[in-house]
């Protein structure tokens, strides 16, 4: 693996650069297919799929982060790298994301909502029977929590659907990461997330009047308060504390039974690296933590070529695992 040489050594600059750096996705060479998948009664999720010119040798399902969508830069550049490597790329939108509020019934999404992803994985798997390219999941930030949690929930049965999992800049301990986000140094991120979450609630209320009590929105100052007042109540968790305790992927890590790569920058401003001091990281042979000194949150912009270092790491890892899967053994 090529060593990572950070373009930005300041974690906040790295984070912002990762978000705003222009990333190309060739729409002419790889036309997009827009697909809607039924995942629950009155619920559909949007997936943007692309296939290489030849029969794909693997399939990647990419899951975005909090208040993101399939158009996120990291999803676009990884999709491009995957397609050039001969993989199909499916950019998954969480429930109500990507402009699909009108397709989410009376619900939105939450940080541990794995049912929609499982439904899409199952349908994609069935579409390529009897024998198809192995499916890999790639989750970014909150999406990383979703893919790790799903792999742990499936346990030994995961290999029937997926060949491997990748999680990048993942808040495996939701409570710890919400506390981290509330620090003064992270004010710019917290305000942006809260503002977007509030607008999502307002948009949903316009579509489904009476679903939320909007009068409470004006009192919400941070993510914890939003989750305690809206997310926890909407999904029956009762409180933000119980929501975080039940939906954090850290409690599912020990049960993962497919090859899993976790990429995390030690200087991530949104995720305290201490959350990765978890017994499963060393005890579970299916887990590999790739800890990078610098990179920010979903940053990893390289000073040397290739600029998007992370994409090559993930694509190369998929190729290695895919070769083992097709050879009939997985380590």
Q: 318 Cβ partners below 8 Å, 6+ apart?
A: 58, 60, 82, 85, 87, 136, 164, 166
The answer to whether the CB of 78 falls within 8 A of the CB of 214 is no
The answer to whether the CB of 175 falls within 8 A of the CB of 242 is no
The pair phi, psi for residue 213, each rounded to 5°, is -95, 95
Q: CA-CA distance, 51 to 29, in Å (whole number)?
A: 10
pLDDT digit of tens for each residue in the chain (331 aa)? Answer: 778 999 999 999 999 999 999 999 999 999 999 999 999 999 999 999 999 999 999 999 999 999 999 999 999 999 999 999 999 999 999 999 999 999 999 999 999 999 999 999 999 999 875 457 999 999 999 999 999 999 999 999 999 999 999 999 999 999 999 999 999 999 999 999 999 999 999 999 999 999 998 998 989 999 999 999 999 999 999 999 999 999 999 999 999 999 999 999 999 999 999 999 999 999 999 999 999 999 999 999 999 989 999 999 999 999 999 988 776 544 4
Predicted model pTM: 0.96
The pair phi, psi for residue 259, each rounded to 5°, is -55, 130
The answer to whether the CB of 121 falls within 8 A of the CB of 161 is yes
- Count the residues in the chain: 331
* Tens-place pLDDT, residues 159-187: 999 999 999 999 999 999 999 999 999 99
Strand partners, 309: none
Domain parsing of the chain, residue ranges: 11-173+250-326, 175-247
Query: What is the side-by-side strand order in the sheet with 33-40?
Result: 33-40, 43-50, 87-92, 58-63, 135-140, 164-168, 260-265, 287-292
Q: Could you please state the CATH topology (level 3) that the domain comprising 11-173+250-326 is classified under.
A: Rossmann fold (3.40.50)
How high is the pLDDT of residue 305?
87
> Measured on CA atoms in the order 18, 19, 21, 27, is the torsion positive or negative?
positive
Q: CA-CA distance, 325 to 314, in Å (whole number)?
A: 16
Kindly state the helix (H) or strand (E) to which residue 54 belongs, with its residue range: none
* Tens-place pLDDT, residues 246-296: 999 999 999 999 999 999 999 999 999 999 999 999 999 999 999 999 999
Q: CA-CA distance, 129 to 323, in Å (whole number)?
A: 19
Q: CA-CA distance, 88 to 55, in Å (whole number)?
A: 9
Q: CA-CA distance, 173 to 248, in Å (whole number)?
A: 5
What tokens were used for 161? 């659907």
């Amino acid at each position: 693996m090529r060593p990572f040489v950070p373009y930005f050594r300041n974690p906040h600059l790295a984070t912002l650069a990762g978000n705003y750096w222009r990333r190309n996705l060739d729409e002419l060479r790889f036309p997009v297919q827009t697909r809607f998948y039924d995942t629950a009664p009155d619920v559909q999720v949007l997936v943007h799929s692309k296939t290489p010119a030849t029969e794909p040798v693997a399939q990647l399902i990419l899951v975005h982060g909090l208040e993101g969508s399939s158009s996120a830069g990291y999803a676009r550049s990884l999709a491009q790298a995957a397609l050039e490597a001969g993989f199909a790329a499916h950019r998954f939108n969480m429930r109500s994301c990507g402009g699909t509020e009108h397709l989410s019934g009376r619900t939105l999404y939450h940080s541990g909502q794995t049912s929609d992803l499982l439904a899409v994985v199952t349908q994609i798997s069935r579409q390529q029977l009897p024998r198809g390219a192995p499916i890999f999941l790639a989750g970014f930030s909150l999406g990383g929590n979703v893919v790790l949690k799903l792999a742990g929930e499936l346990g030994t049965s995961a290999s029937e659907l997926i060949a491997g999992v990748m999680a990048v800049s993942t808040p495996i301990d939701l409570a710890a990461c919400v506390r981290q986000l509330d620090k003064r140094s992270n004010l710019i991120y917290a305000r942006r997330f809260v503002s977007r979450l509030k607008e999502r609630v307002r948009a949903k209320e316009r579509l489904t009047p009476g679903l939320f009590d909007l009068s409470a929105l004006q009192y919400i100052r941070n993510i914890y308060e939003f989750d305690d007042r809206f997310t926890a109540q909407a999904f029956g968790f009762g409180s933000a504390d119980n929501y975080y305790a039940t939906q954090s992927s850290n409690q599912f890590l020990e049960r993962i039974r497919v090859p899993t790569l976790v990429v995390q920058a030690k200087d991530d401003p949104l995720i305290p690296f201490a959350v990765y001091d978890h017994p499963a990281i060393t005890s579970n042979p299916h887990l590999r933590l790739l800890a990078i000194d610098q990179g920010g949150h979903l940053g990893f912009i390289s000073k040397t070529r290739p600029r998007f270092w992370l994409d090559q790491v993930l694509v190369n890892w998929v190729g290695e695992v895919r070769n083992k899967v097709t050879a009939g053994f997985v380590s």
